[in-house]
Amino acid sequence: MEYCVECQDCEDCFGCFALRHKKFHIFNKPYLEDEYWLLLDQIKTAMLDKGEYGRYFSGKFFHTPHDMSNGSTIYEDFTKHELDYLQIHDFDHSLDGAYGDWSEKKFDEVSNIPDDSLMIDINLFKIKAFQCPFTHRPFTYQPIELELYQVMKLPLPREHFIKRVFDLWRELNMNVYNNGTCQKCEKDIIFAKNRLYPHRKLYCQSCYLLYLENQG
Q: Find the part of the chain contacting Zn ion (CB under 5 A) among 35-43, 54-62, 135-143, 198-206.
A: 198-206
Footprint of Zn ion on residues 114-173 (CB under 5 A)? Answer: none
Footprint of Zn ion on residues 4-63 (CB under 5 A)? Answer: none
**Nearer CB in complex with Zn ion: 64/205:** 205
Q: Residue 207, interface with Zn ion (CB under 5 A)? A: yes
Determine the Cα–Cα distance for residues 127 and 140; give it in Å rounded to an integer.
8
Q: Find the part of the chain contacting Zn ion (CB under 5 A) among 64-72, 80-88, 160-168, 177-185.
A: 177-185
Dihedral sign of CA atoms 131, 132, 135, 139 in order: negative
Q: Residue 212, interface with Zn ion (CB under 5 A)? A: no
Determine the Cα–Cα distance for residues 204 and 92; give it in Å rounded to an integer.
44
Q: Find the part of the chain contacting Zn ion (CB under 5 A) among 23-31, 48-56, 148-156, 174-182.
A: 174-182
Options 105, 170, 184, 193; binder of Zn ion; rule CB under 5 A: 184
Options 151, 185, 192, 196; binder of Zn ion; rule CB under 5 A: 185
CA distances from 170 to 66, 78, 98, 163, 175 (A): 15, 16, 25, 11, 12
Which residues, in sequence order, are CB contacts of 173 under 8 Å at separation 6+?
192, 193, 194
Residue type, 29: K
Q: Residue 209, interface with Zn ion (CB under 5 A)? A: no
Element (H, E) at 189: strand 188-194
152 and 172 in contact (C-beta within 8 Å)?
no
Options 16, 88, 156, 204; binder of Zn ion; rule CB under 5 A: 204
Q: Find the part of the chain contacting Zn ion (CB under 5 A) among 15-23, 78-86, 131-139, 186-194.
A: 186-194
Output b/e per residue, 133-154; b: 16+ Cβ within 10 A.
eebebbbbbeeeebeebbeeee
CB of 182 to Zn ion, least distance (A): 3
CB of 172 to Zn ion, least distance (A): 23
Interface with Zn ion (CB under 5 A), residue total 6
Look at the chain and count its residues.
216
**Nearer CB in complex with Zn ion: 172/185:** 185
Which residues form the interface with Zn ion (CB under 5 A)?
Answer: 182, 184-185, 187, 204, 207
